[in-house]
């Protein structure tokens, strides 16, 4: 009698399964066979059922441990896969994926080199190659990469040089809106019990126009209603009054900034005090003021829910004023 069949090698275990079936055929009970070969009665029962259903092949030893992969990527093949992941997206390669997942990389390796890896092996390879799961930054299809590079390497250095010569102050301007029904951030809760956050059933909002400087200065205006030329011009008037230096205001190509005849006329009359410069189209990531907008939304509508519009405006102003007192935090956005 064997003390414990689990300690045997796969081939010996296979032989025991065959012998157990023969013992059952000879008239031994399942309990007797289990004691004879050092296994559980449930194991004998399972072997017998499998044998009746599929015959002897169901008793054969199965490979143990991690399955062997078919083939292995060479160093130069790994380097090519890494370059493809860095430079392209799956949909550009006609795959049915938008983002690089383990399954997408798995398909890429199989399509390019005919080597099949499990998704877990692909995950280990990605980690080895220095890739980690990340939330991607949204970027518009219409963005011109050449224009972005040209602005960073040529246009912005010219703006800085011109500002230095004329002792002007560079401001990064932008607008944002805050709504009472903005999405709720995540919170911890008991598994299977969804937390409940009570909000006002009324919808209300307010808007903010602001500018920040490389030195950490923040200027803002909270307003109600639609952003238009009058709002923009009023904000620029406030900037001029609050600054002892000329102002170079960098903004995106919003129609009010870029096309408004009223704004163009006002700028031409006040060009000695303020000048407008424009970011490349569809390139919000170049504007550090976007980070201020994210900070504002995260610490107002998401962190503390207002019950009415006045409370929302008060919370927004309070947060922006606290940021004005901490220029080192504004500098981190630049």
Model pLDDT, residue 20: 87
**Nearest partner of 315 among 323, 329, 324, 305, judged by Cα:** 305
Domain coordinates in residue numbering, the chain: 5-59, 75-128, 145-331
User: Does the domain formed by 5-59 have CATH 1.10.10?
Assistant: yes
* Bridge pairing between strands 169-179 and 205-213: antiparallel
On the CB side of 172, CA atoms within 13 Å amount to: 23
C-alpha span between 99 and 316 (Å, rounded): 36
pLDDT tens track, the chain, 334 positions: 555 666 778 888 888 888 889 988 888 999 888 888 888 889 889 989 988 888 888 888 876 665 554 468 999 999 999 999 998 888 888 888 878 999 999 999 999 999 999 999 999 999 999 998 887 666 665 677 888 899 999 999 999 999 999 999 999 999 999 887 666 556 666 777 777 666 656 788 899 999 999 999 999 999 999 999 999 999 999 999 999 899 999 999 999 999 999 999 999 999 999 999 999 998 888 999 999 998 998 888 766 677 788 999 999 999 999 999 999 999 999 8
The residues facing 179 across adjacent strands are 205
Q: Which one of 3.90.400.10, 3.30.420.10, 3.30.9.10, 3.40.190.10 gives the CATH number of domain 145-331?
A: 3.30.420.10
Residue 142: predicted pLDDT: 64
Burial environment of residue 309 by CB neighbours within 10 A (0 to 12, 13 to 18, 19 or more) = middle
């Amino acid at each position: 009698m064997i003390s414990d069949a689990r300690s045997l090698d796969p081939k010996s275990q296979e032989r025991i399964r065959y012998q157990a079936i023969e013992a059952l055929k000879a008239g031994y009970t399942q309990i007797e066979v289990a004691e004879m070969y050092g296994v559980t009665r449930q194991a004998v029962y399972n072997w017998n059922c499998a044998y009746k259903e599929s015959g002897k092949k169901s008793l054969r030893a199965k490979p143990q441990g991690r399955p062997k992969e078919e083939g292995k990527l060479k160093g130069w093949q790994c380097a090519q896969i890494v370059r493809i992941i860095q430079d392209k997206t799956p949909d550009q390669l006609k795959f049915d994926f938008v983002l690089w997942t383990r399954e997408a990389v798995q398909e890429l390796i199989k399509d390019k080199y005919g080597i099949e890896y499990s998704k877990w092996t692909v995950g280990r390879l990605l980690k080895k190659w220095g890739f980690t799961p990340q939330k991607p930054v949204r970027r518009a299809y219409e963005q011109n990469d050449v224009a972005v590079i040209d602005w960073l390497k040529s246009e912005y250095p010219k703006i800085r040089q011109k500002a230095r010569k004329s002792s002007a102050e560079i401001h990064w301007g932008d607008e944002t809106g805050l709504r009472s029904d903005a999405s709720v951030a995540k919170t911890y809760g008991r598994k299977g019990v969804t937390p409940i956050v009570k909000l006002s059933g009324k919808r209300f909002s307010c808007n903010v126009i602001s500018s920040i400087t490389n030195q950490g200065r923040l200027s803002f205006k909270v307003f109600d209603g639609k952003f238009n030329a009058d709002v923009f011009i009023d904000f620029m008037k406030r900037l001029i009054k609050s600054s002892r230096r000329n102002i170079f205001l960098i903004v995106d190509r919003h129609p009010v900034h870029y096309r408004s005849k009223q704004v163009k006329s006002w700028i031409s009359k006040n060009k000695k005090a303020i000048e407008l410069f424009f970011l490349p189209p569809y390139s919000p990531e170049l504007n550090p003021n976007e980070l201020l907008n994210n900070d504002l939304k995260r610490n107002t509508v998401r962190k503390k829910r207002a019950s009415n519009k006045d409370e929302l405006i008060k919370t927004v102003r309070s947060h922006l004023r606290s940021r004005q007192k901490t220029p080192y935090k504004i500098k981190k956005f630049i």
